Chain A
Amino acid sequence: MNAPQTVMAINLVVNGVQVAREVEVRTLLSTFLRDDLGLTGTHVACEHGVCGSCTILVDSQSVRSCLLLAVQVDGTNVETVEGLGSLGSLSPLQDAMWREHGLQCGFCTPGILMSIEGEVRSGASAEAICDEVLSGHLCRCTGYQNIRTAIHAYFATKDES
């Protein structure tokens, strides 16, 4: 085998669960999440940092998991779409996306949800998310209009409660 075999041990928290694994150094974070941990909600649509499908949170900051190696998140707190809500209890943001038809094929959706989640935590406004953050994602299906509607609807329910 000529493939590099350099392996490193990493420890991190993923969706609230402590994880310890040995990974090949060249393994992308997106590959680690999907293949090693079975968290297939994180999607990969370009592997060159443009589409945003692979967006997750590392220590509450949104990052593109196709542009990081798994070894780079050693010691961090990682959150993926699987940590947001579950089938029977969607998060308010997921519910707003459902209600407003903010997704069609759903391939881009987990990345968009995680980006918005990260921005909401850092205090961004609905307008800033619609105008700037959303433009960091490619969605080929929706034309974005209903995603904007969902973001505003989510902020409206959030501000009420």
Chain B
Amino acid sequence: MTASIDAHRPSLVGSSVRRVNDPRLLTGSGRFVDDISLPGTLHAFILRSTVAHGRLISFESGESPADIVLGPDDIAAATEPLPFVWIAPDQQHLHLPMGDTTVRYVGQPLGITVARTRAEAEDAAELVEMTIDQFPGVADSLAALEADAPLLYPDHGSNLAVDFHIGDDPDVLEAAMAAAPIIVSRRLRIPRIAPIPLETRGVLADWNVGTETLTVWMSTQTPHHVRDQLAHVLRLRIDQVRIISGDVGGGFGAKEHLYPDEVMVCLASIRLGVPVKWVEDRNEHFTATCHARDAVHDARLAMTQDGVFLAIHTKVTGNLGAHFSNVGTGPFRVSGLMLPGPYRVVNAGAKISGVFTNTTPTGAYRGFGMQEAAWVRERLVDEAARELGVDPLELRLRNVISSEELPHLTPTFQEYDSGDYARSLTMVRDRVRAHVPIVDPNPRIRRGIGFATHVEFTGLGPSVMQEIVGFRLGGYETAVVRMEPDGSVFVSSGVMGMGQGIETTLAQLAADCLGVGMDRVSVHLGDTAQAPYSAAGSIASRSMTVGGGAVVTAANTLREKILRIAAHRLEASAQDLVITEGRVCIKGDSSVGISLEELAEYSWLGWKLPEGETPDLEVKFVHDPSNISYPYATHAAAVAVDLDTGQVQIERYWVAHDSGVVVNPRIVDGQIAGGVAQGLGIALFEKVLYEENGQPNSTTFLDYLIPLASDVPDIVMDHFETPAPHIPGGMKGVGEGGTIVAPVAIGNAIAAAVPEIAGLILETPLSPGRLWELLRIGGLINE
């Protein structure tokens, strides 16, 4: 570990400064991709399959008046297949062909029309004649594994795409299970859901005929990754492609790779030699952008008669959709890796089966595999407590890894770093004890409080670990910190802003290290022509941990150089100098000093420098962390369940969490509040529905509900900080925890409110219709 910011513990880290980019967003001056227009821009419409399974036997552009129509054959001839990124053991499909004429899901892009306006492009698309020979389809992963199921890839011989183990050797695990006095086993499901950023995907592609370069404005979380993929697919050199990601209206995992429709838009611009824009509409988004989750877990928790946990295992049947996504089985795998959670277990592991179905591919979404793991583990723990007749929170406290046991290596090869897991449990317990229960004379309203806790995997990751798990993305981040000749500070990083406030928090770190005000720092992200290379971009709650750690070290290194130059100018020793309020002065005597403006001006001239010092005030630092960082939290929900309607109201919600050093408390609170709201949606409303044959039934906001203001309560949050020992600055990730824990905290609360049906709470969403059904089975409905 290099210099820490604690050495000169500054005032900005830990302070809720206002976000630097808000004024433009509040006044309508943001620049989202659809806000950008170039002279002569044409507009695209993507032709998609309306059937779930079949073969496209003809694609006739006929009389279409479009400026260009490209069908599957044109697209296939002009492109290389798109390589997948996270490859499972023995995965046979390694890339996605562009322009495939076998149709495997509704929404699959087949062609593109381009015209003067979007409306005219849509008109033109209506004149394209597509004939699809339709096959039987299958949407459910378990149904797809049955002997008579239609096969998506007949050559592959089965819809079972991959099958592998992680964690302890299966024989060891089975022996541990066989020897255990008590096993709680359940089949639990996490349905298919969708990330739903409010801004859909969009692309403005501009091929410059003269320079033979492609500039693409795109709403993406991973500009460099997308650039590399796009160059490969379009057979260009990487240096011919520039991606600019401006304001991004939410990502949540949906925008972390290149999609085939985006390639088509770029290809159209290359063919026409003019800018082409395409912005996904909401109906398209529901089938064209990756879904997530869709996993069935056959899970077991083994313990002693005293409730001491011994082993945990799950068999995951994961629905991949029509083909591997960028991350493929990654989420199912992470469910297995993080299954043990904060508990001491001797043995743990998972069997992962990835299954092809005629549905939209499943990919990354906030909580990536860990929300599923939390649902499975924390429901099992509550069920175990019910079987043992003990308090669920006490059972957790009995099994949680103590702070003295950290660092701790799990059977699934996670080396938990630092913290006090029990403390988050007791903090929430104390909050809940202080809560005065609501008295309601209506006996048909039941109330209950549920708890859930977790440890989270954030900040991908050591690059060597990525290599071990077959995830072809470097895990490092690079920062460039430069003091310009006028003393202002330029910070550039490969991570991306998409609402999480990273522009502000990186500026806080740099300003603190350099002893300047926030108004002297600007942060530049998202343009591959300017930002340092970032293989992974803003995914996996890594921007602050990995990207912020890079900024801390780069800024501290620059600070040391500034002090050396100032020491030379002031004829003092660098150790006797401090930077404060934009000046370098002698400690304890601010009358002797030099302003940063003057120092920077002369440095860039190459004048008055100490022997051997270069004139540039610029530091580039590559931060490849030595480990993942592991934040953790406990949540509790107080719910009211209406036995007559199946309606659930969340009346109170508590969170106690530790995400290491908090750079901006208000932003951290916002991440948790927003994450909990998404988790609440998972718990109560969200499910992407398909007919058995693969026809989608969730294609508008009227049939896929996300939480409204009236659904989401105010959240009581307690923070404490255990620095990540291996991260410069000590930060851990905070983007996903809210979403990971909330669904099962709410599920456990419903189980507590209506113990008669506790054993039936195995699957989300616990929507009124579903819950009413469970209440009926439990004999609680007066019929």
Contacts and interface: CB of A to CB of B under 8 A. Distances in A.
B674 A53 contact: no
A76 interface: no
B349 to A, nearest CB: 35
A98 B23 contact: yes
Nearest to A45: B198
B712 A145 contact: yes
A140 B28 contact: no
Contacts of A10: none
A156 B679 CA distance: 31
Interface stretch (A57-65, A67-75, A105-113, A117-125): A105-113
Given A81-B27, A142-B677, A43 B702 contact: no
Contact of A42 (B28, B37, B197, B250): B28
A101 B19 contact: yes
Interface string A75-113: 000001110111100100010011101011111111001
Contacts of A135: 708-710
Interface string A137-158: 1111111111110000000000
B709 A1 contact: no
B677 A105 contact: no
Contacts, number: 179
Contact of A146 (B673, B702, B708): B673
A40 B499 contact: no
B197 A140 contact: yes
A29 interface: no
Given A53-B198, A101-B19, A144-B709, A107 B250 contact: yes
Nearest to A44: B34
Contacts of A98: 18-19, 22-23, 26
Contacts of B706: 138, 140
B667 A101 contact: yes
A3 B123 contact: yes
Contacts of A140: 196-198, 250, 252, 674, 678, 706
A142 B197 contact: no
A2 interface: yes
A3 B250 CA distance: 34
Interface string B336-366: 0000000000000000000000000000000
Contacts of A3: 119-120, 123
Contact of A43 (B32, B196, B498, B667): B32
Interface string B172-214: 0000000000000000000000001111100000000000000
Contacts of A106: 21-22, 25-26, 30, 247, 249, 499
A111 B522 CA distance: 28
A12 interface: no
Contact of A105 (B198, B666, B701): B198
A35 B673 CA distance: 35
A104 B501 CA distance: 7
A85 B26 CA distance: 9
Contacts of B21: 106
B674 A40 contact: no
B670 interface: yes
Given A43-B32, A45-B199, A142-B677, A105 B712 contact: no
A145 B198 contact: no
A39 B22 contact: no
B65 interface: yes
A134 interface: yes
B197 A94 contact: no
B500 A104 contact: yes
Contact of B250 (A99, A105, A146): A105
B714 interface: yes
Nearest to B675: A143
Given A43-B199, A98-B23, A141 B674 contact: yes
A141 B366 CA distance: 11
Most buried by A among B26, B250, B701: B26
B149 interface: no
A105 B26 contact: no
Contact of A2 (B123, B281, B499, B707): B123
A50 B670 contact: no
B24 interface: yes
B282 A103 contact: no
B34 A40 contact: yes
A41 B28 contact: yes
B110 interface: no
B700 interface: yes
B782 interface: no
A137 B26 contact: no
B282 A82 contact: no
A130 B709 contact: yes
A104 B710 contact: no
Contact of A131 (B200, B669, B710): B710
B673 A143 contact: yes
A143 B674 contact: yes
Nearest to B282: A46
Interface in B495-530: 498-501
A97 to B, nearest CB: 6
B119 A26 contact: yes
Contacts of A24: 119
B29 interface: yes
Contacts of A108: 198
Interface in B688-737: 700-702, 706-710, 712, 714-715
Contacts of B678: 140, 143
B685 to A, nearest CB: 12
Nearest to B43: A35
A94 B675 CA distance: 24
Contact of A46 (B252, B501, B701, B715): B701
Contacts of A137: 709
Contacts of A42: 28
Given A98-B19, A106-B249, A135-B709, A90 B197 contact: no
B487 to A, nearest CB: 23
B281 A47 contact: yes
Contacts of A39: 28
B26 A148 contact: no
B526 to A, nearest CB: 13
Nearest to B708: A135
Interface string B654-684: 0000000000001101100111111000000
Nearest to A93: B26
Contact of A47 (B23, B32, B250, B282): B282
Interface in B1-41: 16, 18-19, 21-30, 32, 34-35, 37
Nearest to A97: B26
Most buried by B among A2, A26, A140, A147: A140
A148 B120 CA distance: 42
B709 A82 contact: no
A48 B666 CA distance: 33
Contacts of B401: none
Nearest to A134: B709
B54 to A, nearest CB: 28
A51 interface: yes
B27 A143 contact: no
A105 B197 contact: yes
Given A1-B65, A90-B23, A146-B670, 14 more contacts: A35-B37, A40-B35, A45-B200, A47-B281, A50-B701, A86-B27, A98-B18, A104-B500, A105-B249, A106-B499, A107-B249, A134-B710, A140-B250, A143-B674
11 contacts: A2-B127, A82-B27, A101-B19, A101-B666, A105-B247, A106-B21, A107-B499, A130-B709, A141-B674, A142-B674, A143-B673
In order of increasing CB-CB distance, the 5 nearest A-B pairs are: A41-B28, A105-B499, A106-B25, A107-B249, A143-B677
